[in-house]
Amino acid sequence: MPFSASLTSAISGLDSHQTMMDTIANNIANVDTIGYKSSDVILGESFDQVLRNATGPNGLSGGTNPIQLGLGVSVQSTDTNMTQGNLQTTGQNTDLALQGQGYFIVDLNGNQYYTRAGAFQFNANGQLVDPGTGAIVQGKTADTQGNLPVGSAVSDITIPYGQKSPAKASSYIQMSGNLDSSKTPLGTIMQSNSVYAVDNGQSDVEGLLAADAGGGNNHVITGMVPDSTTMTMTVDGKAYTYTYVTTDSGTGKGDFHTMQDLVNEINYSLNQQFSGSSPVTASVNTTNGSISFVNSGTASHSVQITSTNPVLQAAMEASSPVTLAAGGATFSTQEFSHVATTSDLLSNLRNNTGGSLGIANGDQININGQLDGSAITPGVLQVNGSSTTYGDLAKSVTSAFGITNQTGTTIDPQTGALTINADGGTAHSVSNIDIADGTNAAAGFNNVFSAKAGDWTQTQAATDVTQNISTTIYDSLGNQYNVTLSFTRDITRPNTWTWQASVDKPAVITGGGSGTVVFNNDGSLNTFTYADGSSSLQINPAPVGNASNLSANLMSLKLNPGTSGNFSGLTQMSGASTTVSGQQDGYGLGVLNSESIDQNGNIIGQFSNGTTRTLGQVMLATFNNPSGLVNVGGNLFAASPSTGNAIVGEAGTAIPTQVVSGSLEQSNVNLASQLSNMIVAERGFQANAQVINASDTLLNTLVNLQ
């Protein structure tokens, strides 16, 4: 009886289940080992001993099956489970994990290995290594321009300490933001002293300037109260009283509003007194504005004028009786002037004391001054004594200073002052105004409109609506300069702003430093031009005499305000954000501050000047049969004939895998499954031991037979 077969089978079972238990123990031991891949034991039946062969059916028999005796079990293989382990975040940017298939490639003592454990660090030589084994991570190292070598060949990844990013000269300034169209620049307002004109008797008595011939003893008539203020004229003892009113009711009603109304009332009263033919008559002298009394009779007459308004009474100059002798004797009041208006002749103008400006027929008036500090082309006005008006002078001033706004030069209705309302902005600011009578300067005209102190008063200063863009640029040596672009609204042209560039010293602008930007009616950009026809802003960072910076190249900056008809760059709208900014492409010298690794394995360097550059790339390998890899310890695998040649490529392209920086792949051991398998292995081992016990009992029985 072949008892040895059962013993042999049981022993093979013990060996196989011991191997199974050893594998499970190893898996459980590495449950927390990063990148560890668990193993599974595959058992297989050993060959069978044929005790009887099978026979086929024939005419006498239906055939028989073979009789075989199994001889136990053997370990067919220990397969490595290459499934993905969970990822754990570490925060260390050189800790790498793979999400997907593939392996990191490392070199240890000249031999190439593969691993899923990515706990890497840079060593003293700048090499990316596994600090546990000293294995050097394989991949590609970029050149100084950040270019990676072409091809799949790998080498040690080395990032030398102290790498630098060279300076780059700025080549453009990209502008964006909104220029607020709702803000309006203010213009200079200059106002002369008060100006009057000879009154022809048609003006309100209230506000008339009364003065002696030549402008002495002058005063403005004020305090006239309608329906209350009166003036009384007494002729030869007979008194006539006239009341000041807002609107004259007609001759003979005893009221007046103008000097001509008063003259009409006086003459009416005298005609009544002298029975329709008065020897004394009053009239308005349109040459000088006074009221004249003439006695054309044969007898003398006494005239006295008083008023409840002391100013008017003084102006009439007859508060004491005046005797008009027979035969054409005359008496005149002070000369009256009204506040000058646009229709007054220049030859009738007077200053604020009542003195004539002395403008005569044929005079030439010269208009001089400055715009934004520069002298204007003088304006000229030829005086026609019978037609040239104060309004003509105002128009000439507007023209001489190139004023485009609708207000222009006006005449103040309260004072008669010549008022210049210049266009908005300091570029149109008016100063040093000098309007002179070039023909008769000695007549006193210059005392009203000249450049002499006190002739003009500035009631409003010119201000600009300005928005600035300040940007730091760099020259070829990495030197920094602050460039400011100032945008100033031009009120004389619709939707137009002028711009002016400035730069920190010692740099100087050599071209393209100013220009104009025009917007469409919808606020989008229309044109951006340079005043000198340039196509860029040119800067010399090393002007003559600046020996400290003679090696820097000349700079040419393209100013980019956006696309015409578009809203992506500069715009002009009302009420929108007024923030404007400029971006440029230059930078100074930078040193390597830190590295990061992206999902494709690219090692990106961050430099102190804000630039980034590719420093290298971690390459990956995969296999047709990754389970054939040989575990050589230290989380490393070696290729074998079973795996085939390694397929080397980039993550995300050649190999569909994502590199996860700041994470590590954990062991893929399923602890619950391993514990279950351990029970199975234990029971299998126990069962095989029982077979040996049973076989031993049978042998004992056989030996003890008598």
Mean pLDDT of 295-301: 93
Which pair of structure tokens corresponds to residue 104?
Answer: 């990191």
* CA geometry: angle 573, 574, 578, nearest 5 deg: 75
Give the residue from 281, 316, 333 where a domain finishes: 333
Give the residue from 568, 588, 608 where a domain finishes: 588
477 with 547, same domain: the answer is yes
pLDDT band at 2 (very low <50, low <70, confident <90, very high): low
Using the predicted structure, report yes or no on whether residue 1 has a pLDDT greater than 50: no
Nearest alpha-carbon partner for 417 in 451, 388, 381, 390: 390
584 with 477, same domain: the answer is yes
| Per-residue burial over 583-592, b = 16 or more CB atoms within 10 Å of its CB, e = otherwise | ebebbbebeb
Give the list of residues 6+ apart from residue 494 with CB closer than 8 angstroms, or none: none
In this prediction, residue 376 carries a pLDDT of 96
Question: What does the alpha-carbon distance between residue 29 and residue 25 come to, in Å, rounded to a whole number?
Answer: 6
Mean pLDDT of 460-474: 93
Residues in the chain: 706
CA torsion through residues 186, 187, 188, 194, sign: negative
In this prediction, residue 698 carries a pLDDT of 81
92 with 154, same domain: the answer is yes
Question: What does the alpha-carbon distance between residue 48 and residue 64 come to, in Å, rounded to a whole number?
Answer: 18
pTM, whole model, 2 decimals? Answer: 0.66
In this prediction, residue 373 carries a pLDDT of 93
In this prediction, residue 83 carries a pLDDT of 87
Question: What does the alpha-carbon distance between residue 479 and residue 474 come to, in Å, rounded to a whole number?
Answer: 5
199 occurs within a structural domain:
no
pLDDT band at 105 (very low <50, low <70, confident <90, very high): very high
R_g of the chain computed on alpha carbons: 56
418 with 532, same domain: the answer is no
Using the predicted structure, report yes or no on whether residue 3 has a pLDDT greater than 60: no
203 occurs within a structural domain:
no
472 with 584, same domain: the answer is yes
248 occurs within a structural domain:
yes
Which pair of structure tokens corresponds to residue 559?
Answer: 């100013």
Using the predicted structure, report yes or no on whether residue 185 has a pLDDT greater than 60: yes
In this prediction, residue 442 carries a pLDDT of 62
CATH number (domain holding residue 566): 2.60.98.20
pLDDT digits (tens, 9 = 90+) for 247-265: 999 999 999 999 999 999 9
Using the predicted structure, report yes or no on whether residue 518 has a pLDDT greater than 70: yes
551 with 638, same domain: the answer is no
pLDDT digits (tens, 9 = 90+) for 410-427: 999 999 999 999 999 999
208 occurs within a structural domain:
no
In this prediction, residue 155 carries a pLDDT of 93
Mean pLDDT of 37-54: 76
pLDDT band at 13 (very low <50, low <70, confident <90, very high): confident
> Which DSSP symbol is given to 215?
S
206 occurs within a structural domain:
no
pLDDT higher at 30 or 49:
30
Give the list of residues 6+ apart from residue 503 with CB closer than 8 angstroms, or none: 481, 482, 483, 484, 509, 539
Q: 67 to each of 7, 352, 428, 649, how far by Cα in Å?
A: 20, 147, 121, 56
Using the predicted structure, report yes or no on whether residue 59 has a pLDDT greater than 60: yes
Give percent above pLDDT 90 in the chain.
63
Question: What does the alpha-carbon distance between residue 249 and residue 261 come to, in Å, rounded to a whole number?
Answer: 9
471 with 527, same domain: the answer is yes
250 occurs within a structural domain:
yes
Angle between helices 671-703 and 3-29 (to 10 degrees): 160
Using the predicted structure, report yes or no on whether residue 529 has a pLDDT greater than 80: yes
Give the residue from 588, 623, 642 where a domain finishes: 588
Least confident of 440-454, 462-476, 663-677: 440-454
Question: What does the alpha-carbon distance between residue 369 and residue 380 come to, in Å, rounded to a whole number?
Answer: 12
Instruction: Quote the number of domains for the chain.
Output: 5
434 occurs within a structural domain:
yes
DSSP 18-57: HHHHHHHHHHHHTTT-TT---EEEEEEEPPEEEEE--B--
Mean pLDDT of 111-137: 93
In this prediction, residue 4 carries a pLDDT of 67
368 with 326, same domain: the answer is no
In this prediction, residue 577 carries a pLDDT of 66
549 with 444, same domain: the answer is no
Assign residue 615 a region (left: φ > 0; alpha: ψ between -120 and 50; beta: otherwise).
alpha
| Residue 48 bridge partners (DSSP) | 70
201 occurs within a structural domain:
no
Cβ(70)–Cβ(639) below 8 Å: no
Cβ(541)–Cβ(547) below 8 Å: no
* CA geometry: angle 682, 683, 684, nearest 5 deg: 90
In this prediction, residue 544 carries a pLDDT of 54
Compute how many other C-beta atoms are within 10 angstroms of the C-beta atom of residue 250. 9
Q: Are strands 172-180 and 570-573 parallel, antiparallel or unpaired?
A: parallel
Which pair of structure tokens corresponds to residue 48?
Answer: 């069978």
296 with 312, same domain: the answer is yes
> Which DSSP symbol is given to 7?
H
pLDDT digits (tens, 9 = 90+) for 590-644: 898 889 999 999 999 999 888 899 999 999 999 999 988 998 988 899 999 988 8
CATH number (domain holding residue 393): 2.60.40
93 with 39, same domain: the answer is no
Give the list of residues 6+ apart from residue 220 with CB closer than 8 angstroms, or none: 207, 208, 209, 210, 311
Mean pLDDT of 491-502: 93
Compute how many other C-beta atoms are within 10 angstroms of the C-beta atom of residue 544. 8
pLDDT digits (tens, 9 = 90+) for 555-596: 999 999 999 999 989 999 987 667 788 898 998 888 988 899
In this prediction, residue 606 carries a pLDDT of 92
Range of the domain at 522: 172-183+465-588
Cβ(489)–Cβ(517) below 8 Å: no
Which pair of structure tokens corresponds to residue 120?
Answer: 């890497």
> Which DSSP symbol is given to 84?
P
648 with 677, same domain: the answer is no
